[in-house]
Amino acid sequence: MAVSIAHLGPTGTYSEAAALACARSLHDLGEETLLCACPSIARAIETAAADGAQLAVVPVENSLEGTVTITLDTLWQLDQMQIQQAYVLPISHALLSLASNQSGIKTVYSHPQALAQCHGWLKNFLPEVQLIPTNSTTEALKYLDSDRQAGAIASRRAAELYQIPILAYPINDHPDNCTRFWVLSLQPSPFFGPTEEDKSHTSIAFSVPANVPGALVKPLQAFASRSINLSRIESRPSKRSLGDYVFFLDLEADAKAPSTQAALAELTAYTEILKIFGSYNIQIFTNDR
């Protein structure tokens, strides 16, 4: 039976590109795959959590725009999803339009993150255009047919799929623009290396008792005292009151290593809710197709 992979659709999004990378690695293991395009990132995670898909591939963080907050918030709420693998994909944006040239463009549509990532280029080359946010880079394309003065920022792959000319490429301000994705599933997945092998990263999240001075200090010392490096720390509102947070940590360690086990055991004394999203490796891609 084919392995189903939920992702943010429609076809042509960067999330689909990440899901395709996941599908290719499964094909190498002799598995068939089925991509399942969802209308939102939350829905992609919820689909896998409800067993409607075996895997979900979702963006976590972009090198320019930072955290994809809906991914962290949804993981915290659902709580039983485990991270199997991380992918880092380069993101290169193109300007797509049916206009005969750049100077004919009056409006540019795209996802807010893509607009932000091309902020400098737009300021230089299209300073007068109106920028209009859309729900995905692919959604931006639907305005082009009816309006030849409209442009969209999307991937080269989207240009090919929907047969829309590329007027400029690449147009992102930083050539190293890339996005990290997580592959999630309910159960430990056999497709991402043996579970007894040490993984390079572990992600956890926790809340601390509200209004207790020093509440964040002790959890961080649990790792610091054992020389476990945090590659990332992110606070998200608990949605209870301002100043009350859930903390997301990426540790450079495997959860089953003795020092990590000791730190996590100590952590339970300081935290209100502690969730361990599992250990995984990071695979870095250098080609945007």
Shorter beta-carbon distance to a copy of itself: residue 239 or 256: 239
Instruction: Verify binding: residue 35, a copy of itself, rule CB under 8 A.
Output: no
Q: How many residues bind a copy of itself (CB under 8 A)?
A: 45
Phi, psi angle pair for 170, to nearest 5°: -80, 155
For helices 41-49 and 69-78, angle between their N-to-C axes, nearest 10 degrees: 20
Instruction: Verify binding: residue 88, a copy of itself, rule CB under 8 A.
Output: yes
| Span near a copy of itself by CB under 8 A; candidates 12-20, 98-106, 215-223, 259-267 | 215-223
- What stretches of the chain adopt beta strand conformation (E)? 3-8, 33-38, 55-62, 66-67, 82-90, 94-97, 107-110, 130-133, 150-154, 166-168, 178-185, 201-207, 230-237, 245-251, 273-280, 282-284
The binding track of 242-271 with respect to a copy of itself, each residue x by CB under 8 A or -, is xx-x-x----x-------------------
Instruction: Verify binding: residue 217, a copy of itself, rule CB under 8 A.
Output: yes
What is the spatial distance between Cα 244 and Cα 247, in angstroms, rounded to a whole number?
10
The binding track of 180-209 with respect to a copy of itself, each residue x by CB under 8 A or -, is x-----------------------------
| Span near a copy of itself by CB under 8 A; candidates 8-16, 120-128, 158-166, 213-221 | 213-221
> Which of these, 187, 153, 192, lies nearest to 173 by C-alpha position?
153
Nearest distance, CB of residue 164 and a copy of itself, angstroms: 22
Sign of CA dihedral 161, 164, 166, 170: negative
Which residue reads 């002790």 in tokens?
Answer: 218
Which residue reads 């829905």 in tokens?
Answer: 43
Instruction: Verify binding: residue 39, a copy of itself, rule CB under 8 A.
Output: no
**E strand or H helix that includes residue 45:** helix 41-49
Nearest distance, CB of residue 94 and a copy of itself, angstroms: 21
- Give one word for 14, left, alpha or beta, with left for phi > 0 and alpha for psi -120 to 50: alpha
Instruction: Verify binding: residue 69, a copy of itself, rule CB under 8 A.
Output: yes
DSSP lists the bridge partners of residue 109 as 132, 152
Pair 58, 68: CB distance under 8 Å: yes
Shorter beta-carbon distance to a copy of itself: residue 15 or 185: 15
Instruction: Verify binding: residue 66, a copy of itself, rule CB under 8 A.
Output: yes
Shorter beta-carbon distance to a copy of itself: residue 138 or 179: 179
**Candidate list 239, 265, 268, 273; residue touching a copy of itself; CB under 8 A:** 239
Shorter beta-carbon distance to a copy of itself: residue 29 or 233: 233
Integer angstrom CA distances of residue 226 from 71, 214, 220, 248: 29, 19, 10, 19
Q: Which positions lie near a copy of itself, rule CB under 8 A?
A: 61-66, 69, 88, 112, 133-135, 174, 176, 178-180, 213-218, 220-221, 223-224, 227, 229-237, 239-243, 245, 247, 252
